[in-house]
A and B are shown apart, each in its own frame.
Chain A
Amino acid sequence: DTAVSQTPKYLVTQMGNDKSIKCEQNLGHDTMYWYKQDSKKFLKIMFSYNNKELIINETVPNRFSPKSPDKAHLNLHINSLELGDSAVYFCASSQEAGLLTGELFFGEGSRLTVL
């Protein structure tokens, strides 16, 4: 069983479109995250949810809207896609919002290409 699963794995779309990426974890973790990895492999946190509540919201355009229907799911919706949104988006989860366990479990990533 995959611990953190994301869909779709690949997404190619036109500028201006709206798209969603879904994430599910079956680890029973309380906290989930979205990270963006750009073409230079630089990883940056976008959002974090703890038990469906938003706890980290970095400086991300409001075209990006996360949604957590329950603590096992964290989806990312992107409106009006731009070329600069092309990246690999990683979902991750951890046992608690704190860092005592220190371990994030990552999904395999969703590669978004905006044409």
Chain B
Amino acid sequence: AQSVTQPDIHITVSEGASLELRCNYSYGATPYLFWYVQSPGQGLQLLLKYFSGDTLVQGIKGFEAEFKRSQSSFNLRKPSVHWSDAAEYFCAVGARAAGNKLTFGGGTRVLVKP
């Protein structure tokens, strides 16, 4: 079965500083990988996704993520955080062989200090 671990429950960063959110997955074959963001009181919005090809993927709002097969990781990064980036971030893994289900990690809450 597929699974996703986000080791950091919450992270606090200063505005303008860089941000990296960790995601580790478990799946036997090449998975489909996603990052979603959830602002307070809102639904989830897709930031970026990886299916195949270039292991560094660009997303919306200045985010990027890198797929590292050897480490089973798909970490999310942003070079300079804005106060509006304060939110909950979810990594997810999906696979056709797993019935096309998306399995989400437990989320990382990002707080942005002025």
Chain A residues proximal to chain B, CB less than 8 Å: 4, 40-45, 48, 55-56, 90, 92, 97-100, 102-104, 106-109
Known interface pairs A99-B32, A99-B96; A44-B104 also in contact (CB < 8 Å): yes
User: Which residues of the partner chain A approach B42 to less than 8 Å between Cβ atoms?
Assistant: 108-109
Query: Are the CB atoms of A43 and B46 closer together than 8 Å?
Result: no
Total contacting residues, chain B, CB less than 8 A: 25
- Check if B41 is an interface residue, CB within 8 A of chain A: yes
Query: Are the CB atoms of A103 and B43 closer together than 8 Å?
Result: no
A-B contact count (CB 8 A): 60
Of chain B, the residue at the smallest CB distance from A58 is B101
- Check if B99 is an interface residue, CB within 8 A of chain A: yes
Chain B residues proximal to chain A, CB less than 8 Å: 32, 34, 36, 41-46, 49, 51, 88, 90, 94-96, 99-104, 106-107, 109
Additional pairs, 19, CB under 8 Å, beyond known A41-B109, A102-B46, A104-B102 = A42-B104, A43-B90, A45-B101, A45-B103, A48-B100, A56-B99, A56-B100, A90-B43, A98-B96, A98-B100, A99-B32, A99-B96, A99-B100, A100-B51, A103-B46, A106-B43, A108-B41, A108-B43, A109-B43
